[in-house]
Structure 1
Amino acid sequence: MSMKTSSQGVVRFGLAIALAAGAVSVHAWPDKTVTIIVPWPPGGPSDIAARPVAQGLFASLGKTFVIDNRGGAGGNMGSAIVAKASPDGHTLLITSSAPIVINPAVYKKMPFDPAKDLQPVTNLLRVPLVLVAHPSVPANNLKELIAHIKSQQGNFQWASAGNGTPQHMTGELFRSVAKLDMIHIPYKGSAPAITDLSGGHVPVMFDSTIAILPHIKGGKLKAIAVTGAKRSPQLPDVPTFAEAGLPAVESYAWYGLFAPAKTPKDVIAKLNAETLKFMKQPEFQKILTSTGSDYVGDTAENFAAFTRDEAAKWANVAKATGATVE
């Protein structure tokens, strides 16, 4: 055997081993229980996506996917656990946008760096927010509401689900774009804020269609405008902010799937493919319809680009409005 033939054989043998190793890596995952951490208390909006996705991945991959709710620090606590976990695909994160693209701009200290420590896999849900008012507020459209707020000369209050939440930052975006002087009243979650708004203790707030729709349908609150690029199918008579004259106010509450950085590319690819396959099934399509969300499953690369754009957007809002969380 010549030296040339021998070296070619070694190259082919090495290539075969590399290909086989890659195949083993894909087919070996998952080889044990996968923990999906949701960095919020049980029953929150993130669970709307997390629990069906866990069941769908179990059905397609044959391994158990366990939901572990780890609330605290605006989503930072649970997200940091995933950021520091072994990058083998057996610890994942499903969360709202806050700890990924808002918290780095408003928290003075972060226990992890979302851009460096987490790998985006795919978007799961993306729903617009709605600006709602108590029926006693003397305004039935955005123009009238802005005029009313300005007439209060800095004494007008607005509620949110808490400092650093998408609801809060969307309110800050609105305040900045419309040049309004308002007093922010942060609550510990959507539920208590909606309760006080329905009782007339605060006049307006932003919240996702998921949380606020029943209260609008029940006549307890009136919808002023939605923050999506197009009208919500659940609220076809409510204009977008763009239609109402403020196109810069576009915002979404979104929920995504993430893995620790440095998770093997083949594992990310398989996780992405299996998740998107499930998202196209009737059971998840019903969730999209009920929450007013379009299908937003995407490649890991496109979702990563989306999160970078979102992070830049909210960093600009935080800088312009001075929004911070201690």
Structure 2
Amino acid sequence: MKRRLFLSLSLAGLCLAVAPASAQQWPSGPVKVIVPYGPGSTPDMIARIVSEHLSARLGKPFVVENKAGASGNIGTDAVAKATPDGQTIGVSIAGPLAVNTLLFRSMPYDPARDIAPITIAATQPSVLVVGSRLPVADTAELVARLARDPGKYNFSSMGAGSISHLAVEAIAAKAGTEIVHVPYAGSTKAVMAVLSGEVDLAVLPAAAVMPQVKAGKLRALAVATAKRSAALPDLPTLAEGGIRDVQADAWMGFIAPAKTPEAIVARLHDEIVAVLADPGVQDKLRGLYMDVVANSPSEFKATLKGDLDRWRPIVEKHGIRLD
């Protein structure tokens, strides 16, 4: 009996000793960073910026691999099914990690079961913009026009079920009106639709619209964030214009397979947060209209729950499905 107890305690002690040791030995070789969208996308840009600095800090290459398709599900599934040893991580967003569970009847992975959140690296505000067909000065004036003529105006999005789609449906619900949805494949085409006058308005990532705003071709009315963005401090929030509780900022988070040892997840978190604290990195992200977040895994999980709670009523009301 005493011998069995001694062996059990010895094994327990060995496990406790191995966990921190594995984190110290990580990374054992090149680290794959999977991005579920194409080169040049916002998640791709932040993955490459952070990976470059992680490579320099840790002396091992962090290699970005793009696996696009199925609204981000393909690449995120690749992370979920990777060996959980810290040698494969990913960068993903609200769609594949939360909202897609509302949009697809069948998912190849369960974000809550198969993914270990590490940290939300940064967030980029979504911006409410209008084109020349809508000569309004602010959100309140826009809402008044929309409310007077339900169904008269239309908006572009980056695709059905995207945050750019759900955000405008939420605005319409708050305003007690209807706005016709015209989906496009990606942000570039969605922006062009507003520029050309095919549609009246859109809520799109800042990086996609601000060059056109600065050129005087689009008018930015508000950011769809809880508070004013440090990246765009002069733009009011939707709430300041009378549309409350519509938050559509686009965050990018680092993730790992669910069974990755906690010590390695903690090491990943600390290293990524250290990179995000670098003034040079913050300058690069600011140039992309991003605000650094660098939160904890538990705070990341809370964000995922908040996104599900926020968008579920909109998805259910409009019966939005992608399969």
Same fold (TM over 0.5): yes
The CA distance in 2 between the partners of 1:82 and 1:11, in whole Å, is: 34
Q: Which one of the candidate residues 203, 207, 210 is aligned to 2:207?
A: 210
Q: Counterpart in 2 of 1:230?
A: 227
Q: Counterpart in 2 of 1:283?
A: 280
The CA distance in 2 between the partners of 1:234 and 1:120, in whole Å, is: 25
1:53 corresponds to 2:50: yes
TM-score by length of 2: 0.93
1:82 corresponds to 2:82: no
1:159 corresponds to 2:172: no
Q: Which one of the candidate residues 237, 241, 248 is aligned to 2:238?
A: 241
* Cα offset, 1:253, TM superposition: 0.6
TM-score by length of 1: 0.92
For structure 1, list consecutive stretches of 5 or more residues without a partner in the other structure: none
Matches within 5 A, 1:30-49: 30-49=27-46
Q: Counterpart in 1 of 2:181?
A: 184
CA RMSD of aligned residues (A): 2.1
The CA distance in 2 between the partners of 1:7 and 1:287, in whole Å, is: 57
Q: Which one of the candidate residues 105, 108, 111 is aligned to 1:111?
A: 108
Identity, % of aligned positions? 35
1:146 corresponds to 2:143: yes
Does the 8 Å contact 2:229/2:291 carry over to 1?
A: no
Q: Counterpart in 1 of 2:64?
A: 67
* Cα offset, 1:79, TM superposition: 0.8
| Deviates most, 8-17 or 102-111 | 8-17
For structure 2, list consecutive stretches of 5 or more residues without a partner in the other structure: none
Indicate how the Cα distance of structure 1 residues 117 and 12 shifts in structure 2: closer, same or farther if over 3 A, else same.
closer
Indicate how the Cα distance of structure 1 residues 215 and 25 shifts in structure 2: closer, same or farther if over 3 A, else same.
same
Matches within 5 A, 1:111-130: 111-130=108-127
Does the 8 Å contact 2:154/2:199 carry over to 1?
A: yes
Does the 8 Å contact 1:101/1:314 carry over to 2?
A: no
* Cα offset, 1:277, TM superposition: 0.6
Does the 8 Å contact 2:232/2:289 carry over to 1?
A: no
Does the 8 Å contact 1:134/1:204 carry over to 2?
A: yes
| Deviates most, 70-79 or 290-299 | 290-299
1:267 corresponds to 2:261: no
- 1:108-157, CA deviations, whole angstroms, 9 ceiling, x for partnerless residues? 22221111111100001112211100023132222221222234441321
Q: Counterpart in 1 of 2:318?
A: 321
Quick one: which amino acid aligns to residue 40 of structure 1?
Y
Q: Counterpart in 2 of 1:98?
A: 95
Does the 8 Å contact 2:222/2:236 carry over to 1?
A: yes
Q: Counterpart in 1 of 2:23?
A: 26
Paired residue total: 323
